Structure 1
Amino acid sequence: MSKTSKDRKGCSLTLALTVCSAAIGGTLQYGYNIAIINSPTVYIQKFINETCVERWGTALTSSEVTLIWTLIVSAFSLGGLLGSLLAGPMAIRCGRRQTLLLNNCFLMASAIMALSSRPAKSTEIIIAARFLVGVNAGVSMNVQPMYFGESAPKALRGAVALLSAVFTAMGILLGQVIGLTEVLGGEAFWPYLLASNAIPGLLQLLTLPWFPESPRYLLIDRGDREACSHALGRLRGCEVSDAEMEEILEEQKAAGVARAKSLCELLADRGLRRQLCIVMAASSSMMLCGNDSIYFYASYIFQEAGVSAEKIQYATIGTGACEFAAAIMSNLLIERVGRRMLLLGGYVLMAGWAVVFTLSLSLQGKVAGMPYLSMACVFAYILSFGMGPAGVTGILPTELFDQMARPAAYMIAGSMMWVNLFLVGMAFPFIVNNLGQFCFIPFCGVCVASAIYLRLTLPETKGKTLSEITAEFDRRNTKGLSSSLQNQSQLQETLHSSESVEIEQF
């Protein structure tokens, strides 16, 4: 075997192991913790009622139990919002890898609380546990794509960053399997199910310290060229590419002595406003498109299609498998098709399937076979989401912002995701109650609007360096500014000529 092939093998192996170690305790946790809360719903609601009877001697009404359950579910989103705000400062102060390791403190505390909630007979402990695991997910959802994007070579940057979505889908699928009645989904095991997320966290704590920090962080943020070269050597093989080192040095030179931007500084920077609007719109659309809501609607669809109650949990696993398969397929296509095409194509397909889904729900009970068409729409909608928005959205802050602005950009992107996830989770039951079979029309509108906006504003970033992407936005900004100045000039000429006419008439 030649030296070059050995280097490539070492590069791919080290990079692959780094990705797996970071993701097991990162975005896999996000997907896993979304999935495991569904199966013990009835048992936890029963525990809520029993706890209140023991404390106050009065049983809660159905609406009161639902309200407390909503607080438990919503605590995850609120914790995620706090985690998103913590992610930027932690990534700057501690580094990308060290932040992911420290992030497991929230996870371990959450697992201990989950295990102690039943002996303590406390619903409040469950809420606190879900809040802390949300903080963990919020940090990892922001820092992990940053770590991947800064560690991967340019040719593999998109594919490596997209692995965050692959591991999210894997976490959903794993959580659905672990939540089966035969595994940890029974009434006696729900505290262990909620605490089982500690196992991936322990795996990360044992493995991630063996892998290098982000090379770009080491050179640009810490100014340690030797550590950067060593990290690149481990991630790429024995020989460090001069071109790649020059690219990082060029970015360091452009940054100069500047420090990382704060949230307020990024919001005030007019030169980055177009990129920021794109990231905010894409992050919001990812949660407002209704993909997470369709998971909750899937059980009803399967029931209407004639799937027996005891087998619905197995049919639901198919939804997680769909998103996992779509994420892998997207990972294989992203460096060929490009980010823009996958993102736009995903939203267009989702809009189309939302229309078909609405028709099938409207005709259910009137036309034979509609429940099965509804099932097909559930899987197709999830596949379309996994092919584009699920993975590409997380890459955008890495590719559109430089090292100084990237942490703050991820803070904003993550905050938009968690706020909108919270809003959709709270609003979806009311949407269903008021719109009935037309409940996916608003989501269809979000998909159409997102596709149009991103089509008009987002350039293709495949295979481009940060300087090339920035130059593209500068050209667009200059073009927009020139057009604005030209319009102002034409307006002034029109006003001047009209004034001249008035004077002559006078």
Structure 2
Amino acid sequence: MALVTVTHGQTQPRSLTVKETAAGPTSKLPPRHLLLLASATGIGGTFQYGFNISVMNAPTWDIKNFINNTYCERHSMFIDDNLVTLLWSVMVSIYTAGGALGSFLTGPLASKLGRKKALLANNSLALLAAVIMGVSYPLRAYELIILGRFVIGMNCGLGLNLQPMYLGETAPQHLRGVMSMCGMIFLPLGIMVGQVVGLPEILGRPGGWPLILSVTAIPALLQIFTLPSCPESPRFLLIDKNDVDECRKALKWLGGKHMTEMEMENEMAGMREEHALIGDAGMEKSALVVARDPTLRRALITVILVGAGQQLSGLDVIYSYLVYIFSASGVAPGDMAYIAIGTGLCELLALLMSSYLIERLGRKPLLIGGYSMMALSCVIITISLSLQEYVHWMPFLSASCVFACILSFGIGPGCVTSLLPAEFFTQEARSGAYTLYGMSNWSFLFIIGMVFPFMVDGLGPFCFLFFLIDCVATAIFTFFFIPETKNRSFLEISSYFQRHNRKVYVEPECTELSRVNIRRT
């Protein structure tokens, strides 16, 4: 329950520096029905994102040959190699353009349909993309691959925003971090599945690439069949729709059979308090309104900068160096696919560790520790790659640092960052904030995808010095400007930013229930 101070008709946010009493045992794992909710959400969100990032690696040469052969069939001449590379690059990068558009649609869809229905509707994009990419081969139209990649990018842009928003609003306060981590575990699972289906023993044989690209329909169908059994966000039902009965049903499902009537009333009282403090004029702010609101500016800038730090931290460059690093370590070219699967397992292990630690250590220690370890790994990788030709054991040090960097990213930045917008904003601004946060992330992902090949060519191993600066700067920023949100209600976290914005809430006309929940001084 959020605590505020009322003075002369105004409520002033109280500092978060004083430790509050936790709203439950922080070490408790989610019960089975909450794990079902996280799984049903993650399979259509982070899983799709991870799968569609990695799925294009295995069929690269087959798709390039398809482009060349199709062009030859149309024009009786083979296409220029540079144009083939350009079309391939468009197929890969158009995914981020679709992601940015999907992020832009997050706010309107989440507000109009609700969090759960928006997630379900989003699967129609995945099914459409699977059909478009699957028929590209029989129709001899490589342009359909580009269109399908754009559509699946929209699906992932929506899913990556809706998933943490939905989990953040449905999870009990003391399990909010763990629930988000349970959803994030599906990211490395998606990456690994995308790598596994591309193995020659599975679908990686010649001519199998249309099936590989169409596999994206399976997680969409799984979410369509599993998510309807889960409730809508109770905060959306009560605060946005004022549907008390459905909110009670959702809370009963989420709380399980051991939830008492008093606990349910306390949960609803906290939501009513938030509604009273927000006021009717503040309901469901659009992305543009959120961007212009000075009371939200500090929180918005914070999540965008932390998101930028995550995207620019250099993990994509680490992956681009995998072949070079492990080849120097003696790994045969035919075994590289299995090494890639090993990196996915490493990231999965990191997320499992983070799920265990996030409600014990908090968000800030994981972020600062993760970025600090990544910075150290960047230093060692730069040195080891520079000396790889002169010292015989340096390749093994480089290979070890790759796994260390992936572990560091997974434990901190890779999992905690997406949780912050859900915790930093109250109900009326959350969907708009996620829209801006998602568009910013996809933009930075596009920029780093376009720029880092030239950085690798021009700077070689010294390109990691740029990522060293990014990791150090983000760790410092986190230490000074990000509040610890473990065991804090949404109102308490919002009050922290309100206090730093030097703004105050104007107390609306309080009902008797809302007066009971405001601690006066």
TM-score (normalizing by structure 2):
0.88
Q: What corresponds to 1:214 in structure 2?
A: 233
CA contact (8 A) 1:72 1:126 kept: yes
Please give the residue correspondences for 1:71-90 in structure 2 after superposition, counting only pairs within 5 Å: 71-90=90-109
Q: Confirm or deny that 1:408 pairs with 2:432.
A: yes
Q: Confirm or deny that 1:155 pairs with 2:178.
A: no
Q: Deviations over 1:198-241 (max 9, x none)?
A: 11111111111111101101001101111111100011013351
Q: What corresponds to 1:127 in structure 2?
A: 146
Q: What corresponds to 1:247 in structure 2?
A: 270
Q: What corresponds to 1:364 in structure 2?
A: 388
CA contact (8 A) 1:117 1:123 kept: yes
Q: What corresponds to 2:323 in structure 1?
A: 299
Residue 137 of structure 2 aligns to a residue in which SS?
Answer: helix
How many Å apart are 1:197 and its aligned residue?
Answer: 1.1
Q: Confirm or deny that 1:39 pairs with 2:58.
A: yes
How many Å apart are 1:10 and its aligned residue?
Answer: 13
Residue 57 of structure 2 aligns to a residue in which SS?
Answer: coil
1:248 is matched by which residue type in structure 2?
M
Whole-angstrom distance in 2 between the partners of 1:63 and 1:363: 33
Among residues 405, 408, 412, which one is paired with 1:384 in the alignment? Answer: 408
Q: Using the TM superposition, name which of 187-196 and 168-177 deviates more.
A: 168-177
Structure 2 regions of 5+ residues with no counterpart? 1-27, 504-521
Q: Confirm or deny that 1:460 pairs with 2:479.
A: no
Whole-angstrom distance in 1 between the partners of 2:181 and 2:164: 8
Q: What corresponds to 2:374 in structure 1?
A: 350
Whole-angstrom distance in 2 between the partners of 1:147 and 1:62: 45
Whole-angstrom distance in 1 between the partners of 2:87 and 2:467: 27
How many Å apart are 1:49 and its aligned residue?
Answer: 1.2
CA contact (8 A) 2:325 2:395 kept: yes
How many Å apart are 1:35 and its aligned residue?
Answer: 1.1
Q: Confirm or deny that 1:262 pairs with 2:286.
A: yes
Q: Deviations over 1:270-315 (max 9, x none)?
A: 1111111110011111111111232222122212221111111111
How many Å apart are 1:473 and its aligned residue?
Answer: 2.3
Whole-angstrom distance in 2 between the partners of 1:86 and 1:449: 31
Residue 103 of structure 1 aligns to a residue in which SS?
Answer: helix
Whole-angstrom distance in 1 between the partners of 2:321 and 2:88: 18
Q: What corresponds to 1:69 in structure 2?
A: 88
Q: What corresponds to 1:172 in structure 2?
A: 191
Q: What corresponds to 1:205 in structure 2?
A: 224
Residue 299 of structure 1 aligns to a residue in which SS?
Answer: helix
How many Å apart are 1:61 and its aligned residue?
Answer: 2.8
Whole-angstrom distance in 2 between the partners of 1:364 and 1:426: 27
Q: What corresponds to 2:127 in structure 1?
A: 108
Q: What corresponds to 1:97 in structure 2?
A: 116
CA contact (8 A) 1:347 1:389 kept: yes
Assess, with a 3 A threshold, how the Cα gap between structure 1 residues 267 and 357 changes in structure 2: closer, same or farther: same
Assess, with a 3 A threshold, how the Cα gap between structure 1 residues 450 and 11 changes in structure 2: closer, same or farther: closer
CA contact (8 A) 1:78 1:131 kept: yes
Q: What corresponds to 1:55 in structure 2?
A: 74
Q: Deviations over 1:448-470 (max 9, x none)?
A: 11111121110111001122212
Whole-angstrom distance in 1 between the partners of 2:502 and 2:157: 36
Whole-angstrom distance in 2 between the partners of 1:197 and 1:449: 37
Whole-angstrom distance in 2 between the partners of 1:212 and 1:357: 47
Q: Deviations over 1:60-118 (max 9, x none)?
A: 23322111110000011111000000111100000011011100111111111111111
Please give the residue correspondences for 1:356-505 in structure 2 after superposition, counting only pairs within 5 Å: 356-478=380-502
Whole-angstrom distance in 2 between the partners of 1:45 and 1:11: 46
CA contact (8 A) 2:39 2:183 kept: no
Whole-angstrom distance in 2 between the partners of 1:278 and 1:475: 15
TM-score (normalizing by structure 1):
0.91
Q: What corresponds to 1:190 in structure 2?
A: 209
CA contact (8 A) 1:10 1:236 kept: no
1:120 is matched by which residue type in structure 2?
L
Whole-angstrom distance in 1 between the partners of 2:206 and 2:466: 37
How many Å apart are 1:157 and its aligned residue?
Answer: 0.5
Whole-angstrom distance in 2 between the partners of 1:62 and 1:167: 37
Residue 427 of structure 2 aligns to a residue in which SS?
Answer: coil
How many Å apart are 1:187 and its aligned residue?
Answer: 1.8
Residue 188 of structure 1 aligns to a residue in which SS?
Answer: coil
Q: What corresponds to 1:226 in structure 2?
A: 245
Residue 187 of structure 1 aligns to a residue in which SS?
Answer: coil
Q: What corresponds to 1:340 in structure 2?
A: 364
CA contact (8 A) 1:10 1:237 kept: no
Whole-angstrom distance in 2 between the partners of 1:11 and 1:458: 26
Structure with bigger RCO (C-alpha 8 Å, 6+ apart) = 2
Superposition RMSD in Å? 1.5
How many Å apart are 1:413 and its aligned residue?
Answer: 0.9
CA contact (8 A) 1:212 1:234 kept: yes
Among residues 17, 22, 25, which one is paired with 2:44 in the alignment? Answer: 25
How many Å apart are 1:11 and its aligned residue?
Answer: 7.7
Whole-angstrom distance in 2 between the partners of 1:267 and 1:250: 25
How many Å apart are 1:325 and its aligned residue?
Answer: 0.6
Whole-angstrom distance in 2 between the partners of 1:58 and 1:98: 49
CA contact (8 A) 1:87 1:411 kept: yes
Whole-angstrom distance in 2 between the partners of 1:164 and 1:421: 21
Q: What corresponds to 1:272 in structure 2?
A: 296
2:500 is matched by which residue type in structure 1?
R
Q: Confirm or deny that 1:117 pairs with 2:130.
A: no
CA contact (8 A) 1:290 1:443 kept: yes
Q: Which has more radius of gyration?
A: 1
Q: What corresponds to 1:484 in structure 2?
A: none
